Structure 1
Amino acid sequence: MTKQFHDNTLSADALDQIFREARSYNGWLDKPVSEDQIQAIYELLKMGPTSANMQPGRFVWCVSQESRDKLAECASEGNQEKIKTAPVVVVIGYDIDFHEELPWLFPHTDAKSWFEGDEDGRIEGAKRNSALQGAYLIIAARAQGLDCGPMSGVDLDKVTEAFFADNPRHKADWVCAIGYGDETTIFGRSPRPDFEKFNRIA
């Protein structure tokens, strides 16, 4: 029997929402993001691939005004108001000792042994794969009709101290505001390169 292939491409509207028309927002409408929405974002992002399913991302969802103000104190001046006024700001961090969880996250083999005794290698893998998970977070939020404002303009040591003090093996890497974006706060879209500029097919 011949296998039937189907075009499962998302609709043009869906692709616009997630990629082509999506923007990074600097300001937010006064509209809350619910805990159900937050959990729904995580339920999607966790399904994205990471090396050996290591899942090194550690996320702190700053919802209360107190937590957002504390995070804003760790940010550059230009990012402070964005953080204070967003409904949710997520601290995307990583766990240096993610390998301790691999016996249940990747039970097919002894993956934990691959990373034992190699902290530098674990840090490299944790940074790369948690950054991937942060990208999945943005896609998941946009897929649910929310907008994002990713930021790296924060003092990571201060963010780590403020939000991961209870586990010194967790380190902050960047933050992302989530909410309903105020279109008056965005700039004109910056150029995007054509395929030929930075790609080649070998």
Structure 2
Amino acid sequence: MSLILDPAAQDLLFREAHTANAFTDEPVTDEQVQAIYDLVKYAPTAFNQSPLRVVLVRSPEGRERLVQHMSEGNRAKTASAPLTAILAADNEFHEELPKLFPAFPQAKDAFFSERSVRERSATFNGALQAAYFIVGVRAAGLAAGPMTGFDAAAINKEFFGDGEHSVLAVVNIGRPGDDAYRPRAPRLSYDEVVTTV
């Protein structure tokens, strides 16, 4: 094999990992979430802009506020997950650039003075970070249930009333419960995806 990563780790992170739809009631601790973040914060982003923001939904009140904005098929699993994370892009990420990209302090104004440019960049780079976050959840031995079935405008208003954040995904996190996984769906083959020029 051409991969250096141990086969068991390959299975944990990729081959055997599935989107979870049911969880046990075992709690996910703040220490676990911090360990996940401390691993995945190294995801690549342009100018090290790091636009991902995470809201952990733990309280019954927070859960109720979130569940009402989920698609009908996602409500029960979101209501019963031990932890749910709202992953959002901070469209004002450029305010942090001087400390995140000190080699080029003018990047804040040189590249990101227009809101539309910031939004596109925040969405793309936040999505990269969100993908790393999911892999980090798996690396912690937990299951992730990422979803995009929700009313984005309502979640933005409910949890990010400042108008500066855009929800990217909602991720249920925990230990997989009974019947947590659907059968593995097919994937495209290498030859269907990769071309060489």
The TM tier, using the shorter chain, reads: over 0.9
Report how many residues are paired: 195
Matched-pair identity in %: 38
Contact 1:156 1:172 in 2 (8 A): yes
Question: Cα RMSD (Å) of the superposition?
Answer: 1.4
1:83-110 Cα shifts (integer Å, max 9, x gaps): 1111111111111111111011100012
| Deviation (angstroms), 1:115 | 2.9
Q: Superposed, which structure 2 residues align to 1:186-201 within 5 Å? A: 186-201=181-196
Cα distance in 2, alignment partners of residues 186 and 49 from structure 1? 30
Q: Residues 122-161 of structure 1, C-alpha deviation per residue, up to 9 Å, x if partnerless?
A: 1100000001111010011100100000000000111111
Question: Is 1:34 matched up with 2:29?
Answer: yes
The answer to whether the aligner puts 1:9 opposite 2:4 as a matched pair is yes
Matched, 1:56 2:72: no
Pair 1:95-2:79 in alignment: no
1:138 and 2:138 correspond:
no
Give the distance between the partners of 2:60 and 2:12, measured in 1 at CA: 28
CA contact (8 A) 1:99 1:115 kept: no
Counterpart residue number, 2:65? 70
1:49 & 1:148 partners in 2: Cα distance?
21
Aligned to 1:40, what secondary structure does the other structure show? helix
- Partner Cα separation in structure 1 for residue 111 and residue 77 of structure 2: 38
Preserved contact between residue 25 and residue 183 of structure 1 (Cα < 8 Å): no
1:185 Cα deviation after fit: 3.0
For 1:174, give the aligned amino acid: A
**Which residue of the partner structure matches residue 3 of structure 1?**
none
Residue 175 of structure 2 is aligned with which of 177, 180, 189?
A: 180
Q: Residue 112 of structure 1 is aligned with which of 108, 114, 119?
A: 108
Amino acid of the structure 2 residue aligned with 1:150 = P
CA shift for structure 1 position 201: 2.2
TM-fit CA distance, 1:8: 7.8
Q: Which residue of 2 aligns with 1:164?
A: 160
After TM superposition, give the deviation of residue 117 of structure 1 in Å. 3.0
Structure 1 gaps, min length 5: 1-6
| 1:147 correspondence with 2:137 | no
TM-score (norm 1): 0.92
In 2: Cα distance, 1:64 partner to 1:91 partner: 14
Q: Does 1:127 align with 2:118?
A: no
| Shift, 1:193, TM fit | 1.3
Q: CA deviation at 1:183?
A: 4.6
- For 1:132 and 1:114, how far apart are their aligned partners in 2? 23
Residue segments in structure 2 that go unaligned for 5+ positions in a row: none
